[in-house]
Amino acid sequence: MKYILTFIFGVLCAINVHANNLSIIRDSEVEDVLTGMARRIFTAAGLNPQNAEIVLVNDDSINAFVAGGQTIFVHSGLITQAKSPDEVAFVLSHETGHIVGGHVIRGAQQMKSAQTTALISTVLGGLLAVAGGSPEAGLAIMMGTNSSVMGSFMAYRQSEESAADRTAVDIMKKIGYSMQGFTDTMKELQRQERLSPSYDSAYWQTHPMTRDRMRDIERFTQKAGPLAQDEQFDLMRAKLIGFLYPSEQTRHLYQGNSLADKYAQAIALYKENKIMDSLKAIESLIALRPKNAYFHELKGQFLFETGKLNESAKAYETAVQLMPKALLIRLALGQVLTESNHPDELKKAILHLSEVVVQDRFIPGAWRLLAIAYGKTNNMPMADYAMAEFYILTGKQEEAIKMAKRAIDKLPTDTTAHQHLQDILELTNTKPTNTKELEL
């Protein structure tokens, strides 16, 4: 499946986060739409909108969560199964309610307290069993107390979920989204609940039952306004479905002539390796919306897959001109230019990739591409420096140290690269080698 290769530095970029067993999707269009929505929600909640960050998780279930800070993790299923932006807006507002209420920190404190209580009951039960010669009594104390503690913790979690729902209602009223989005989301969850009573048991243990949530907010949904119409949301959803769903299913869902239909159909053609047809489809979209950077981005991806590097670079350059702050599009352009062996193209690649890492140092792929571009221009100290950054970000400490030692004495001490190399060596508790001292 050739198209998956472009997920790394193209339209959809999938990254596995092994520590949390999450597969993260990176895409400029998806992040732009969801972050824009989150910023409006943060503003309504009294939070700094610039702190809003959305991370898309490749998971087809309807879910979202916060894990500390102000980052909201959104499952792709929430987007692909949503019928309107109002549904997504309510879920984002609900998670913002958790942030406003400090529920993650308080929940951790409650869990710690519950674990302490459970430990004490276990110790006391064990002492009773030994001292009184009654194992049954000791076991009863341990099981009874632990069951009570867990019940109390789950009840606490459910109360937080209810509080987050109430905050979400206030936010939705302020930003103008319809509470029908809440009703539609709850109906879908209720359908899944009926189909499989054991569905995601951890979710149901820590959340109020769907019917109870609907009852609690019923007074706000009775006069719900019409669902929002949002072309950007529709296009973003069509793109996700196009890439994540089988092409047959995509075609079934998108049979019309709207922009979203044409967008999804173009991606389905691309996945079926009907490259010329997919290019015609995306050209027709560009003709309708010539200033849509994401259409030019997709054209660049299609051309790159067919080996047409010059045409691909031109499409990506147009996208970058239209959206100069979209780092993932600039990164894709850098990738295309790095494939060239022409000095001028490689210089442009270095400029674009350097801009990416200046704006966001934590994209490993950008550093790796930068290392390749520097290597092709025979600037080996900078290539080694870029690889040191790549290795430190990917957890390969020994390789990072090796590259940092190799580069640090070959770069001027007053450069940013030299300073970062020192930081890498200090971070890994390694002192830079002083070549002159060794010569003595």
Rounded percentage of the chain residues whose pLDDT exceeds 70: 72
Question: Which pTM value belongs to this model?
Answer: 0.78
The rounded Cα 340 to chain-centroid distance in angstroms is: 30
Reading the block at residue 209, the tokens are 């039952």
**What residue has token string 């993790």?**
73
Helix axes 259-271, 275-288, angle to 10 degrees: 160
User: Please, which residues have CB within 8 angstroms of residue 190's CB and are 6 or more apart in sequence?
Assistant: 210, 211, 214
Q: Is the pLDDT of residue 308 over 90?
A: yes
Q: Is the pLDDT of residue 23 over 50?
A: yes
Look at residue 204 in the predicted model and tell me its pLDDT: 44
Look at residue 103 in the predicted model and tell me its pLDDT: 58
Residues 92, 235, 36, CA angle at the centre, nearest 5°?
35
Look at residue 169 in the predicted model and tell me its pLDDT: 86
3-state per-residue secondary structure call for 104-131: HHHHHHHHHHHHHHHHHHHHHHHHHHHH
Would you say 370 and 417 are in contact if contact means Cβ atoms under 8 Å apart? no
Domain ranges in the chain are 2-221
What's the whole-number average pLDDT of the chain? 80
Reading the block at residue 411, the tokens are 């770069």
Q: Is the pLDDT of residue 313 over 70?
A: yes
| Residue among 35, 105, 31 at smallest CA distance from 68 | 105
- What string of DSSP letters covers 9-28? TSSSEEEEEGGGTEEEEE-H
The answer for 207, left when phi > 0, alpha when psi is -120 to 50, beta otherwise, is beta
Among 146-160, 182-196, 319-333, 411-425, the least confident range: 146-160
- Is residue 431 classed as helix, strand or coil in its secondary structure? coil
Beta strand pairing status for 53-57 and 22-26? antiparallel
Judge residue 239's burial from the number of C-beta atoms within 10 Å of its C-beta, 0-12 exposed, 13-18 middle, 19 or more buried. buried
Beta strand pairing status for 22-26 and 71-75? unpaired
H/E stretch holding 438 reads helix 435-439
Helices and strands (H and E) in the chain: how many: 22, 5
Go through the chain and tell me how many residues it has.
Answer: 440
Q: Which residues pair with 73 in a beta bridge?
A: 55, 65
Q: How sure is the predictor about 223, in pLDDT bands with cuts at 50, 70 and 90? A: low
Look at residue 163 in the predicted model and tell me its pLDDT: 83
The answer for 101, left when phi > 0, alpha when psi is -120 to 50, beta otherwise, is alpha
- Is residue 65 classed as helix, strand or coil in its secondary structure? strand
Look at residue 209 in the predicted model and tell me its pLDDT: 58
Look at residue 377 in the predicted model and tell me its pLDDT: 96
Per-residue pLDDT, averaged over 91-116, amounts to: 66
- Is residue 361 classed as helix, strand or coil in its secondary structure? coil
The CA distances from residue 373 to 174, 297, 370, in Å, are 49, 21, 5
| Residue among 268, 229, 266 at smallest CA distance from 83 | 229
Judge residue 416's burial from the number of C-beta atoms within 10 Å of its C-beta, 0-12 exposed, 13-18 middle, 19 or more buried. exposed
Q: Which residues pair with 26 in a beta bridge?
A: 13
- The pLDDT tens digits of the residues spanning 329-347 come to 999 999 999 998 899 999 9
How many whole angstroms separate alpha carbon 67 and alpha carbon 84? 26
